[in-house]
Structure 1
Amino acid sequence: MKQFKLGLVPKLIIAIIIGILIGEFMPLWFCKTVVTLSSIFSSFLKFVIPLMILAYVTMGIADLSQGAGKLLIITVLLAYCSTLVAGSMSFIVSSTLFPHFMAPDALEKIQATADVSVGTYFSISLPAVIDTLSAVVLAFILGLCMSSLRGKTIGTTLYDSMKDFSAIIDAVLHTAIIPLLPLYICGTFVDLTYSGKTFTILGILWKVFIVVIAMHLVYLLIEFCLAGSIAHKNPIKLMTNQISGYTTAIGTQSSAATIPVNLECARADGICSQIRNFVVPLCANIHMCGSMITITACATAVCLMNDLPISLGTVIPFIMTLGVAMVASPGAPGGSIMTALPFLYMVFGTTAGDPNGPICALMVALYITQDSFGTACNVSGDNAIGVVVDQIYRKVIMKGQAVAVD
């Protein structure tokens, strides 16, 4: 008889349920113990993420024997355009539906739980060797140079060293990070539930919450249908492959932290190793379609509740600016909204848009309650882009030559 092995998705779902039950029924000391363990793992994860990006993006680009620069530009353009379209769609839907069910005092009630947290018994400071954005830029430089110069003006020493480094990071991911992800997710939901955040949004602004999630899912359906039609793949199968990545992102609230699982989703989609190794880590830092949908919807809700003027003319420049500013913001939960704070004046106006003012504080509170689903949309959309880039690589760059999936 084969030994029964519980898959990642069931483990993540169980972790979420256990986290909610602990946060709801267990005493504070027990909750703090779980959150402390989750926090220690989170510190380790943040330390590994830049190394992961450096290893995978560098080797992904370096292994592209042809068209590395072109594919990189195509990926960045697809990610940016997707983010702009997502934000524009969000404003049109939100401005149409939200006025019918907005309660003026809703954000005040949400704000009451914004600063409530379980806390930890202690924390471990583990600074990253290199920050995320620097890792992305360095990976571009190393990958592009090795792809174009290896075997011509330079040897293979650096390439072999980076390949070994990538293998080390891969071993760390599969032996430590992925097995411990359920603990991280459990701790997140313990904190959210004990502090009252999990159910606050459902009890006060559940209609807004549902509309935002529906926009995420509709946008993902559009993305995967387009990707499937371009690559001649079943979009339903592609979305099914993405379930583990989507669930992981809900629990981690971090695109970067979901990279290991998302790489496995990309493998299931049939994306070749060269493409997935640079598209998935890269898009985790530049493709923010879900976050943009949530931020735009929250900004629209705040304006409607506070009788502030808002129009497509003011939202589009905001979306275009934020599409660039949010690069490398997903290292921590809520990173996107913290990046957006200095630019909220473009929607709220100079006075109401003060990052330290009450309007922006309400904006942060509303966003944080929905952040995990925006992150899940981000990472799922990353693989839709990966399917498209993989098809371009196979048909245009390699001209039908065989490429490796594993």
Structure 2
Amino acid sequence: MTKKSKLMQFVLHGNLVVRILIGLIAGMTLAACSASAAASVGVLGTLFVTALKSVAPILVFALVTSAIASHKAGQRTNIGPILALYVTGTLAAALVAVVASFSFPATLTLVVPTATTATPEGIGAVLRTLALNVVDNPVRALADGNYIGILAWSAGLGLALRHASATTRTVIADLSSGIAHIVRLIIQCSPIGIFGLVAATLGTNGFGALAHYGRLLEVLIGSMLFVALVVNPLIVFCKTRRNPYPLVFTCLRESALTAFFTRSSAANIPVNLALCRKLDLHEDTYSVSIPLGATINMAGAAITITVLTLAAVNTLGIAVDWPTALLLSVVAALCACGASGVAGGSLLLIPLACGLFGISNDLAMQVVGVGFIISVLQDSFETALNSSTDVLFTAAACHAQDHDKVLAQA
């Protein structure tokens, strides 16, 4: 085989993580050499993220419908244990953020112009929005990427199709496989997309604007890394009773890496589904748990909401005791479940948490403005934690179920 053909073979079928790292380095190099050229290739990243976001809703709809329609009576889906892990992980992340904020208090310079974006006025508004999303028009849910509505309609259709003929269920399964094949083709283009995303981000923004918020970023990113490398492995160990780090590092390498650059849990759904398939997990489980996790499993969002809220509290000199801080962690965890799976989705829920301390909406929206300034790093780390944890907890629940089966047969 010639060198040229070997190179082409690597480009088309080589290790995806290695190719992504090459795209990352190439993007950084281009940004360092020419900011204008780097900004111009941003369209490659935009095309990649748009393609993922476009195919993800119909993929989730087809996968969930097919999985439920072909589900065999008595077969466990493990959704209950995964939901418990999601809730535990999100609440634990909020508690870590509280402790980190008390240990390393950060302050803000609230000079950002007041934004005009509408924000929720209370937890009731968040819950009301979630309830309305469940009964949303299915066509609009697919068009808008409303994954709560997509899950509800696909689950209902899947239950109805369990009584359909075998031929109908085969057609649904074939449709799901066909869409999954398209997704795999898009994922193969991720090195090019990440090249465009990195080059455009560094070429346009750089990291100079982040220097003023160094302490805040240290608390945010430090909390997220602690959750990813200590808290989540501990949760997985308690669930599986085995060394969690091989699984943790696999999820960070193959899910967190792409999520870091796409900055969208929704866009990373196809990547996570492919990783679950690679890990040989139960399709009946991950076809539901992954899109569900992209909607409600938001440990990174809980950290962002908690840290930025307490930074605003410190800036304004408001005294906060531990019981109030613990209440904030619960509120942040609930708010995080309402964060949209798109870039910056958690920031608009900060005013809700700030309301606990009597902080006006105008000041709270200035905090949101600070969040958008640091989002180049904050949102990337947040999404990487959120999305990789979806696979991590799904795999942990599946492995625990398999272990229980082995024990039962012994």
TM-score of Structure 1 vs Structure 2, range by shorter chain:
0.7 to 0.9
Contact 1:345 1:354 in 2 (8 A): no
Of 386, 395, 401 in structure 1, the residue corresponding to residue 394 of structure 2 is 386
Q: Which amino acid aligns with 1:375?
A: T
Q: Which amino acid aligns with 1:234?
A: N
Structure 1 partner of 2:169:
159
Query: What is the CA–CA distance in structure 1 between the aligned matches of 2:260 and 2:220, rounded to whole Å?
Result: 14
Shift, 1:288, TM fit: 0.4
Contact 1:13 1:247 in 2 (8 A): no
Shift, 1:31, TM fit: 3.3
Shift, 1:16, TM fit: 2.5
Contact 1:79 1:283 in 2 (8 A): yes
- Output aligned runs, 1:4-403, within 5 Å: 5=10, 6-28=14-36, 30-66=37-73, 71-98=78-105, 102=106, 105=109, 129=143, 131-132=145-146, 133-146=148-161, 150=162, 153-175=163-185, 177-201=186-210, 203-221=211-229, 222-242=231-251, 243-327=253-337, 329-338=339-348, 340-341=349-350, 343-351=352-360, 353-354=361-362, 357-367=365-375, 369-391=377-399, 393-394=401-402
Q: Percent identity?
A: 24
Contact 1:186 1:251 in 2 (8 A): no
Contact 1:238 1:269 in 2 (8 A): no
Contact 2:236 2:393 in 1 (8 A): yes
Query: What is the CA–CA distance in structure 1 between the aligned matches of 2:321 and 2:196, rounded to whole Å?
Result: 39
Contact 1:280 1:383 in 2 (8 A): yes
Cα 1:58–1:322 change in 2 (3 A) is farther
If the length of structure 1 is used for normalisation, what is the TM-score? 0.78
Q: Which amino acid aligns with 1:372?
A: S
If the length of structure 2 is used for normalisation, what is the TM-score? 0.77
CA-to-partner distance for each residue in 1:303-347, whole Å, 9 max, x for gaps?
Answer: 223334445544555544554454474442112223x14514434
Contact 2:255 2:271 in 1 (8 A): yes
Contact 1:53 1:282 in 2 (8 A): no
Structure 1 stretch 387-396 or stretch 234-243: which is displaced more? 387-396
CA-to-partner distance for each residue in 1:210-238, whole Å, 9 max, x for gaps?
Answer: 34333223222332343245335431211
Show structure 2 runs of 5+ residues with no match.
116-140
Shift, 1:248, TM fit: 0.8
Cα 1:43–1:128 change in 2 (3 A) is farther
Query: What is the CA–CA distance in structure 1 between the aligned matches of 2:397 and 2:160, rounded to whole Å?
Result: 20
CA-to-partner distance for each residue in 1:142-190, whole Å, 9 max, x for gaps?
Answer: 34455xxx3xx44334422321221121111111x20222233233323
Structure 1 stretch 291-300 or stretch 163-172: which is displaced more? 291-300
Shift, 1:244, TM fit: 1.7
Shift, 1:400, TM fit: 5.8
Structure 1 partner of 2:134:
none
Cα 1:95–1:171 change in 2 (3 A) is same
Q: Secondary structure at the match of 2:295?
A: helix
Instruction: Count how many residue pairs are aligned between Structure 1 and Structure 2.
Output: 373
Shift, 1:73, TM fit: 3.4
Q: Secondary structure at the match of 2:143?
A: coil
Query: What is the CA–CA distance in structure 2 between the aligned matches of 1:82 and 1:323, rounded to whole Å?
Result: 9
Structure 2 partner of 1:124:
none
Query: What is the CA–CA distance in structure 1 between the aligned matches of 2:96 and 2:156, rounded to whole Å?
Result: 35
Q: Secondary structure at the match of 2:78?
A: helix
By percentage of residues, which structure has more helix?
2
Query: What is the CA–CA distance in structure 2 between the aligned matches of 1:160 and 1:303, rounded to whole Å?
Result: 57
Cα 1:21–1:211 change in 2 (3 A) is same
Contact 1:66 1:397 in 2 (8 A): no
CA-to-partner distance for each residue in 1:192-224, whole Å, 9 max, x for gaps?
Answer: 3233353432x3333443343332232223323
Cα 1:48–1:83 change in 2 (3 A) is same
**CA RMSD between the two structures:** 3.4
Query: What is the CA–CA distance in structure 2 between the aligned matches of 1:345 and 1:68, rounded to whole Å?
Result: 45
Query: What is the CA–CA distance in structure 1 between the aligned matches of 2:22 and 2:65, rounded to whole Å?
Result: 35
Contact 1:213 1:373 in 2 (8 A): yes
Query: What is the CA–CA distance in structure 2 between the aligned matches of 1:233 and 1:55, rounded to whole Å?
Result: 34
Query: What is the CA–CA distance in structure 2 between the aligned matches of 1:238 and 1:86, rounded to whole Å?
Result: 19
Structure 1 stretch 177-186 or stretch 64-73: which is displaced more? 64-73
Query: What is the CA–CA distance in structure 2 between the aligned matches of 1:213 and 1:357, rounded to whole Å?
Result: 22
Structure 1 stretch 160-169 or stretch 212-221: which is displaced more? 212-221
Contact 2:98 2:306 in 1 (8 A): yes
CA-to-partner distance for each residue in 1:16-53, whole Å, 9 max, x for gaps?
Answer: 2333333343243x334312232233333222121122
Q: Which amino acid aligns with 1:79?
A: Y
Structure 1 stretch 243-252 or stretch 341-350: which is displaced more? 341-350
